[in-house]
Amino acid sequence: MKRILSMLVPEVPILIGATLLVTQPSLRGAALGLADVYPFTILAAALLLGWRFNRSRLVFAAALLALTQYVLAGGVDTPRERLFFHAATILLPVNLGLIALLPERGTVTMAGLLRWGIILLQVVAVGFLAKNVPVQATALLKTRFLPAVLTAWTPMAQAAILTFLVTGALLVAAWLGELQSPVRGYLYALAAVFAGLSWKATGPGQLIWFSTAGLVLVVAVIEASYLMAYRDGLTELPGRRALNEALLRLGGQFTVAMIDVDHFKLFNDRWGHDAGDHVLRMVAARLAAVPGGGKAYRYGGEEFAVLFAGKAAEECLPHLEELRETVATSRFTPRRRFRPRKKPTALKGGGGGGGRTREQIVITVSIGVAEKDNRHSTPDQVVMAADKALYRAKEAGRNRVSA
């Protein structure tokens, strides 16, 4: 449930808020007032964040949204305006999809200038068609391949709806392939753009939806920056900075456990860093489920920490012993692509007969525990005491808990 919520928040509440703002009669006054400042505030925030955090995709997306809204501000009363609208319903989702899927390459680099050039080329092409053959070009963009009744609910042509669906499917596939991918924000922004272009009612609805698309992208950059600062990308556990801040917020009793993967350097030397990363992810998954109300953090390298707020060390020891046993009873089976750098003399776990049994490796951890007391009254002192206990556990033979 927590993972599902993390995939919906904060974007879905933002979209729900925008829906209420443009549909509820009681909020019409607020929507009219917001329309005067909302787009400019979002555009300024997007450009500032894009420049400050080197997020060129945000700059390109904000520029596209602003340009499209400017072009569509005149309505769809003339043949030229109708062509602008239908061209935007196809070009905008395509461009947003490409921005989301292509890597960051800067805004004034050669790659960035090329992207600006492509956008300018599209503007020139649409302007040329609008000046010379607006009716014919619009008729081509409005070509129907399904019964008209199926798409009567939106002013967009069927080709545009198909473009949105294909772009959305590509973004969903990219997001599911990498849950921390920035395409997530663009997928929700695409939904807001679709709502804006489908908006038929008079008033600031379309403007609110386009600005909301920009807001979603701004929030996505802020979320990504937070995750980079506070969450470890490999294990998806909170990082050392998050632990330090959590310790500073604690005012009463707490216990810290420092955890180290035994013989990890030897494992890396034999199996390589890719296999080592898999081991760290496996251990992190066990730590994330630590019993007793503890919260796990990646401290650095092969070292982790578990924080028990409001508990003494004696209360935590049974839970940490259970955690140690859980890790020790888990078996890591190297995949075929993980070749040992040195040929093993024998396969562990191998049976008789003509077949070869894939090697299973036992992973263990050593744990040092310390609590806040009269001798260790500050978070730094508690962490240092837990670290010393960890070294005692290693010197005593590893795969044990020491307090």
d(CA 227, CA 238): 9
Tell me which residues are annotated as active site: 302
d(CA 32, CA 22): 9
d(CA 289, CA 125): 56
d(CA 362, CA 328): 6
Cis bond before residue 10 (omega within 30° of 0): yes
Residue whose structure tokens are 């729900």: 16
Task: Answer for the pair 185, 219: CB distance below 8 angstroms, yes or no.
Answer: yes
d(CA 363, CA 374): 36
Question: Which pLDDT does position 355 carry in this prediction?
Answer: 40
Which value, in Å, is the radius of gyration of the alpha carbons in the chain?
A: 28
Task: Answer for the pair 115, 98: CB distance below 8 angstroms, yes or no.
Answer: no
d(CA 341, CA 263): 16
d(CA 127, CA 122): 8
Beta strand 361-362 pairing with 331-332: antiparallel
**Mean pLDDT of successive 10-residue stretches along the chain, which has 403 residues:** 86 97 94 94 96 94 97 93 97 98 94 96 98 97 94 96 98 92 95 96 92 97 89 93 93 95 92 92 95 95 96 96 94 66 44 48 95 94 97 96 95
Question: Which pLDDT does position 351 carry in this prediction?
Answer: 37
Whole-prediction pTM value? 0.82
Distance of CA 195 to the CA centre of its chain: 23
pLDDT digits (tens, 9 = 90+) for 203-225: 899 999 999 999 999 999 999 88
